[in-house]
């Protein structure tokens, strides 16, 4: 039986092998009097804006499980306990030549000790991380702005299924490689367990090492940052995913302005509406996000949202699932006004909510308990409080123990958790913590050692 497909970041643990170009059988310049179309002028214009990224990082192994994950996804031999220095290759896109800003994926530069950027002419520059956002898998780097070439950022909202696109990146550490295809689907989610997602799906051939590379439309504009593939082998099978520029641009703008991403808070607990739940509820709408709880004094309560309402659109964009709503709100900042369309008692209504600010403590997981390392938290305002998991780093202790982004911790060792401070007080008294977690419309117990 064939192994089930898996979603894999385009991250090749290998040394750069130098620049190369993909080639195929040569076509004649024309057939009779009719010249053949060529993407060469477009490729020549945008390729200098795509860079290869070499990262030196320390890989720490924590358990046989972690070793197995590295062997499966990255083709590495067994690693001894402790840590080991490795080199990895990815891609990036110059989007601001004047200031030296480069967009790439968070997982390309995560835990990097040193980042080296190779330009199209093979010149190398040392890069520093300006900021990262694991939830969208976007990172912003900066290099010295010396004779750089940038690519204009296009509007990914204008993409349609069937549009032609090209992908440029560094597959398998081979250097600049160009492939072409079409937009296969839009608005894909459920690719990453813990992310904010609205992926572009494409059949342009992309492989490990393409992470952070460019997805370009036929006008030579950047419309996506290549991020993940669906594959049973780790190689390309024609199903790739890119973070659209509407997300990447928003994240970059906040990182450059604040040094971090600040997300707005609506203050609702939600679950996906399916045809089955719609039938059980006796409602005609068979999609959307059902409001299961509204926090007191939250943006949602002030806008008039109530338990039982079904949110079907935010700022005109259709909401199919609870993940769609989490992404729509998560990409907006505190103070933003959002137009929410919802269904109540069979009537479609509209409300305007002014998003509040999350009270987030970044990196607090390791400070609370070693088993929570890799997670960040925010105190839930209103109601009985609680602690929301705002981010979980892949393969971190917190992730391995089952925590997910969006979980709300409501108790620890049978004691009510109202805020981060109360969670920390409980954790300080015990090496093992049993967390009672609310995930969507259900509760579960997680053991944290």
- Domain spans, the chain: 1-20+41-261, 264-357, 359-448
The rounded distance, in Å, linking the Cα atoms of 307 and 301 is: 10
In this predicted structure, the answer to whether residue 253 has a pLDDT above a threshold of 60 is yes
CATH class as words, domain 359-448:
mainly beta
Pick the more confident residue, 256 or 282: 256
Q: Which of the two residues, 73 and 427, has the higher pLDDT score?
A: 427
pLDDT digits (tens, 9 = 90+) for 429-446: 888 889 999 887 788 888
Query: Do 264-357 and 359-448 show the same overall fold?
Result: yes
Which has more pLDDT, 310 or 369? Answer: 310
Distance CA 205, CA 211 (A): 13
What residues contact 344, with CB distance under 8 A and at least 6 apart?
A: 306, 308, 309, 310
Q: Residues 88, 156, 211, 373: which is the catalytic one?
A: 211
pLDDT confidence of residue 34: 67
Give the start-end residues of each E strand in 67-210.
82-96, 101-104, 112-118, 124-133, 138-142, 164-169, 177-188, 199-202
Q: What are the pLDDT digits (tens) for 173-207?
A: 666 788 888 999 887 876 665 567 788 898 887 77
If you count them, how many residues does the chain have?
Answer: 449
12-16, 69-73, 152-156, range with the lowest pLDDT: 12-16
For domain 264-357, give its CATH number from 2.30.33.40, 2.30.42.10, 3.40.50.970, 3.40.1800.10. 2.30.42.10
Q: How far is CA 416 from CA 176, 410, 412, 437, in A?
A: 54, 6, 7, 11
* pLDDT tier for residue 231 given thresholds of 50, 70 and 90: low
107 is catalytic: yes
Q: Is the pTM of this model over 0.75?
A: no
Q: Lowest mean pLDDT: which of 174-178, 261-265, 302-306, 436-440? A: 174-178
| Mean per-residue pLDDT of the chain | 79
pLDDT score recorded for residue 64: 41
Yes or no: say if 118 and 51 are a contact pair by the CB < 8 Å rule. yes
Pick the closest to residue 179 from 51, 323, 39, 83 (CA basis).
39
pLDDT > 50? residue 22: no
Q: Taking the chain, what is the end-to-end CA distance rounded to the nearest angstrom? A: 36
Q: Is the pLDDT of residue 234 over 60?
A: no
88, 91, 137, 156: which is the annotated catalytic residue? 137
Q: What is the third-level CATH fold of 1-20+41-261?
A: Thrombin, subunit H (2.40.10)
pLDDT of 205 reads 76
Q: Which of 195-199, 236-240, 352-356 has the highest mean pLDDT?
A: 352-356
Residue 211 annotated among the catalytic residues of the structure: yes
Tell me the range of 27-36, 59-68, 99-108 where mean pLDDT is highest: 99-108
For the cut 80, the answer to whether the pLDDT of residue 58 exceeds it is no
Q: Is the pLDDT of residue 337 over 90?
A: yes
pLDDT of 24 higher than 50: no
**pLDDT for residue 252:** 93
Catalytic member of 47, 107, 309, 422: 107
Least confident of 205-209, 279-283, 407-411: 205-209
Cβ partners under 8 Å of residue 173, min gap 6: 12, 14, 15, 16, 17, 89, 209
Q: Which of 402, 382, 384, 381 is nearest to 392 (CA)?
A: 402
CA 81 to chain CA mean position, Å: 29
């Amino acid at each position: 039986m064939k192994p089930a497909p898996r979603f894999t970041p385009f991250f090749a643990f290998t040394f750069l092998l130098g620049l190369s170009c993909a080639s195929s059988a040569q076509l004649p310049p024309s057939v009779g009097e009719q010249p053949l179309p060529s993407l060469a002028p477009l490729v020549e214009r945008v390729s200098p804006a795509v860079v290869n990224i070499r990262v030196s990082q320390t890989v720490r192994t924590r358990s046989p499980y972690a070793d197995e994950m590295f062997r499966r996804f990255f083709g590495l031999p067994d690693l001894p306990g402790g840590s080991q220095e490795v080199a990895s290759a990815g891609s990036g896109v110059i989007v601001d030549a004047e200031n030296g800003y480069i967009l790439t994926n968070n997982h390309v530069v995560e835990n990097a000790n040193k980042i080296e950027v190779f330009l199209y002419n093979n010149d190398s520059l040392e890069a520093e991380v300006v900021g990262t956002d694991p939830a969208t898998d976007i990172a912003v780097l900066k290099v010295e702005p010396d004779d750089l070439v940038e690519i204009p950022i296009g509007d990914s909202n204008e993409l349609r299924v069937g549009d032609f696109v090209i992908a440029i990146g560094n597959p398998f550490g081979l250097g600049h490689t160009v492939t072409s295809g079409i937009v296969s689907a839009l608005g894909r989610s459920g690719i990453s367990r813990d992310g904010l997602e609205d992926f572009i799906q494409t059949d342009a051939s992309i492989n490990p090492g393409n992470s952070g590379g460019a997805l370009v439309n036929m006008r030579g504009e950047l419309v996506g940052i290549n991020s993940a593939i669906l594959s049973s082998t780790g190689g390309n099978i024609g199903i790739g995913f890119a973070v659209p520029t509407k997300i990447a641009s928003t994240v970059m703008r906040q990182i450059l302005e604040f040094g971090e991403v600040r997300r707005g808070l609506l203050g609702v607990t939600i679950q996906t509406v399916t045809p089955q739940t719609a039938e059980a509820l006796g409602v005609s709408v068979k999609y959307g996000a059902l409001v299961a709880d509204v926090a007191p004094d939250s943006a949602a309560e002030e806008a008039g949202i109530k338990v039982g309402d079904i949110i079907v659109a935010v700022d005109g964009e259709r909401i199919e699932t609870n993940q769609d709503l989490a992404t729509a709100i998560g990409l907006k900042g505190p103070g933003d006004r959002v137009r929410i369309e919802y269904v109540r008692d069979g009537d479609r209504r509209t409300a305007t909510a002014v998003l509040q600010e999350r009270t987030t403590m970044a990196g607090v997981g390791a400070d609370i308990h070693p088993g929570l390392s890799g997670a960040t938290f925010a105190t839930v305002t209103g109601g009985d409080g609680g602690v929301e998991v705002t981010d979980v780093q892949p393969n971190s202790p917190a992730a391995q123990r089952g925590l997910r982004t969006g979980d709300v911790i409501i108790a620890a060792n049978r004691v009510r958790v109202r805020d981060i401070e109360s969670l920390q007080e409980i954790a300080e008294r015990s090496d093992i913590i049993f967390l009672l977690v609310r995930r969507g419309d259900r509760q579960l117990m997680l053991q944290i050692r």
